[in-house]
Chains A and B, each alone.
Chain A
Amino acid sequence: SQKIEQNSEALNIQEGKTATLTCNYTNYSPAYLQWYRQDPGRGPVFLLLIRENEKEKRKERLKVTFDTTLKQSLFHITASQPADSATYLCASYSGAGSYQLTFGKGTKLSVIP
């Protein structure tokens, strides 16, 4: 089955800097990866999806990359703000034609003013 690893449990960063979060996958090579944001006491919220043939995708201050050789996705938040503080989850489907989304354990980002 698919395994998603987010190596950092927590990341502290100064306001205004770029935060970079890492997601690695093993076993199945997904056609796309997704990133979600989760605030305490709330359900995850979808942020971005990147396909395997897209090297990079942007949405406002967010940027996601997908390196199929390294089996890795990087999630960047530029000009980070305290409001960006949350847990960020990486996810992919478990196999071709699968309906099962496998999530990483998440990285808790804290942006310090």
Chain B
Amino acid sequence: NAGVTQTPKFRILKIGQSMTLQCAQDMNHNYMYWYRQDPGMGLKLIYYSVGAGITDKGEVPNGYNVSRSTTEDFPLRLELAAPSQTSVYFCASGDSYEQYFGPGTRLTVT
């Protein structure tokens, strides 16, 4: 049981490039989430999904897109990367109140 996995662990992007952060969970959870964490700013919700085919915006969705075609996978797409998207990204899943987090992806945009 791997829990929540994220790839890649680290990535450096140039301004204007695009990329997809991968997230998968093997706990059969309905709910999945994407957060970003900046130093001193706490975790901010980007997007979330309550089931396959259903997604919704969180607090800071601009510059990101998501899809949820299966229960297991919830990729986060960055289009036209900007320096403001330099952050650590966490994916999480859950089926009750508590959430289970992945190890994170550290992204730098230069």
Contacts and interface: CB of A to CB of B under 8 A. Distances in A.
Contacts, number: 46
Contact of A49 (B45, B90, B97, B101): B97
Interface in B26-76: 31, 33, 40-43, 45, 48, 50, 56, 58-59
Given A99-B31, A101-B33, A42 B103 contact: yes
A44 B43 contact: yes
Given A44-B101, A99-B48, A100-B48, A89 B58 contact: no
A81 to B, nearest CB: 23
A79 interface: no
Interface residues on A, range: 20 to 34
A46 B102 CA distance: 12
Interface string B91-104: 01000011111111
Contacts of A44: 43, 90, 99, 101
B43 A103 contact: yes
Interface string A43-85: 1111001000000000000000000000000000000000000
A28 interface: no
A39 B99 CA distance: 16
B98 A99 contact: no
Interface string A1-45: 100000001000000000000000000000010100000011111
Contact of B40 (A43, A49, A105): A105
Given A34-B98, A46-B98, A100 B45 contact: yes
Contacts of A105: 40-42
Nearest first, the 3 closest Cβ-Cβ pairs linking A and B are: A43-B101, A46-B98, A105-B42
21 contacts: A32-B97, A34-B97, A34-B98, A43-B4, A43-B90, A44-B101, A46-B98, A46-B99, A49-B97, A93-B97, A100-B45, A100-B48, A100-B58, A100-B59, A101-B33, A101-B99, A103-B42, A104-B42, A105-B40, A105-B42, A106-B42
